[in-house]
Amino acid sequence: MERKKLEKLLQRYMTPDEILTAFSLMDKIQDLKKAKNAVILGHNYMTPDVYYGVSDFTGDSLALAKNAAETDADIILFNGVHFMAETAKILNPHKKVLIADLDAGCSLAEAVTAEEVLRFKTENPKIPVVTYINSSASVKAVCDIVCTSANAVKVVESLPEPSVLMIPDGYLAMNVQKKTEKKVLYWSGKCMVHELFSEMDIEMARKNFPGVKVVAHPECKPEVTQISDYTGSTSQIQDYIESEQPSQVLLLTECSMGENIKGENSSVEFVSTCQICPHMKKITLEGVLRSLQEEVYEVFVEEKVRIGAEKSLRRMLDIGR
Ligand code: 13P
Ligand code: SF4
């Protein structure tokens, strides 16, 4: 995005002094990135300064996993949460993978352990386990296949068995169940951000803004997606808004998505509530600069775990979106 346009976007939430500091940090990051042959991947939930100012590729978890699988950079700096950086490392064992803050976690990734999956498999040997990409490397290593919010139905349907277990996101599993004939068993994990949206948010928005388009992420409760106009991954939501150009949108996902979409679609108005992911918000320009300067924090995955996790990830990548 050109500077003038980015400046205008940043003015929505930064003071003039903060904008000057942000541009100076962006320049330093861009110079270092070139000098070190690094690539910066930025998830759609990054704030606009990080998203537009320093990212080489932006997108949802699936798009960024593909970018990570294809890069020839020496260093991958992942601006997102830990499981995303870990995914990049699983696909690139010989590259240095960095994340600006190791505490950028995910409530879903914490909701299941490899031991729990192994116990389920012992008790249910005929039921394959599909893990959402929002899970740890050790969980991916003991599952049959990975999915993301963009391809979950396709992944479930790719399996020959009539029943599957989806972990760790119970709501994603329930949303998939609505679109497949297979029997989908659920886990109890929840996204701490998306579980906060309710039918009431939608009813209120429709009352106050007649004609508003309601757009939800599949980590929302099925009662919420049921009455939304569109449900999709973060990139699918972005594509939907870009192609439909609705005048008003209720965005039932993380707040920065709205800011970033607004950057390229100024006539779209985002109404009412959004929710902040405290993990994603740990990634700042200051942290990104330090990460590149000091080459911290490096993400490691034990080789035995990595091999198993790569198998589950490649099986998904072979299927596609
Ligand atoms: P996407 O894969 O749709 O970008 O979702 C990732 C995520 O963490 C949503 O909360
Ligand atoms: Fe995890 Fe939810 Fe944050 Fe996405 S928004 S990273 S699922 S806690």
182-215 pLDDT tens trace: 999 999 999 999 999 999 999 999 999 999 999 9
Cα 216 from Cα 196, distance rounded (Å)? 12
Ligand 2, residues at Cβ distance < 6 Å:
81, 106-108, 134, 191-193, 219, 254, 277, 279-280
pLDDT value at 295 more than 60: yes
Contact between 161 and 127 under an 8 Å Cβ cutoff? The reply is yes
Q: What is the pLDDT of residue 192?
A: 98
Nearest residue to 81 (alpha-carbon basis) of 67, 66, 96, 60: 60
Cα 70 from Cα 8, distance rounded (Å)? 33
Q: Which two tokens stand for residue 182?
A: 């297979």
Q: What is the pLDDT of residue 321?
A: 53
Q: What is the pLDDT of residue 124?
A: 98
Geometric angle at alpha carbon 105, from 253 and 99, rounded to 5°: 105
Alpha helix positions (H), 193-253: 199-208, 222-226, 234-244
Q: Which DSSP state fits 298?
A: B
Mean pLDDT computed over 256-272 = 93
Q: Residue 320 — pLDDT band, cuts 50, 70, 90?
A: low
Q: Residue 180 — pLDDT band, cuts 50, 70, 90?
A: very high
Best mutation site among 99, 192, 251 for ligand 2 pocket (most ligand atoms within 8 Å of CB): 192
Q: What is the pLDDT of residue 14?
A: 97
Best mutation site among 108, 110, 172, 221 for ligand 2 pocket (most ligand atoms within 8 Å of CB): 108
Q: What is the pLDDT of residue 274?
A: 84
